[in-house]
Structure 1
Amino acid sequence: MLIEALSTGHKIGLGLVGAAFVAFALVSAFLLPAFRPDYPGKRGLPAFLTLTAALFVGMMFAVFFFGREPSEGRAEGGSTGAEGPPASTPAPPAPPTTAPSSTQTTSTASSTSAPTTAPTTPRSVPVKESEFKIELPSTNLSPGKYTFDLTNDGHIGHDLVVDGPGVSDEKTPVIDGGKTAKLT
């Protein structure tokens, strides 16, 4: 179940290192003693123990590096990539024809009248989180202010982190399963 959350490259890496560890164990337990009854012997014991320890440490490093979830960091980056444009309201002065960007403070020279940007309420975006999954209604959001209504549909605690242009690590508190939180 948890292996499904890993990327294909991580699955292959863990599988190859695990296969090498199992192959060494089988060869040293069954094949080599058939040819050399005193295997590893007094002369081969230090090399055998060194190789065994090296394979064990290699397996632990493989589990540490391939078993961790870089997708979690990417999920934050991915969700902020989708949520980044709303946070960067000062950046898009070129598209003044976009109607949804009512929150931007345009100071373009083409406008001869006083700025008429009235503060509006942030648009609500429902976000559902569960184990290994974040659901948004759309990953393309136009510039503006948003309120992310987080619902934890999972069994363990989750939070929502937004980091991108104009936003620096805005996050909800960790909420338990079945609870909700808001991030503006």
Structure 2
Amino acid sequence: MSQADSAMPATTKPNKLQRIVSKCYQLPQALQAFALTTVFGRVIKFAGTAGVEVLELKGTRSVLRLKNRKKAQNHIGSVHAAATGLLAESATGFLVGIHLPDSKLPLLKQMQVDYIKRSTGDLTAVASLTAEQIAAMHNDEKGEVTVAVTITDSVGVEPVHAKMTWAWIPKKR
């Protein structure tokens, strides 16, 4: 991943998570999403158990998917509300995670998930950060960002409106 691709300030050193993600992107393209999904599924066990897939994680954007499988379904056969929240949290949290310096600890401060209508099939979440948000993560000892995430289903409908507020604090040494 190049400096331009990562959307990090030019003087910033990649964090541990970003170095792992960069190694995944060095693999052949057909293996990249599998490698990213495997890494995150092992680190964030709940996301791995639910089957969250990482399709893209670079620059200012992440794209994750949750297939409508039995283990993630509700009683009416669509993706469960809690699994949908997990997808939104994962899309935003993984994106914050690749930008936050190793000296800082990310904490989910607030989840806003508004369920608008029943979803059909698989769900895809796209989260994005601005350059200003990324700069704040690098420059401010403590802070927070509200990360937009768009969730669409298999027929292109946006059944959920969500945003997550992530805070960070210095890690205890």
TM-score normalised according to structure 2 size: 0.26
In terms of fraction of residues, the more strand-rich structure is 2
Higher relative contact order (CA 8 A, sep 6+): 2
Structure of greater Rg: 1
TM-score normalised according to structure 1 size: 0.24
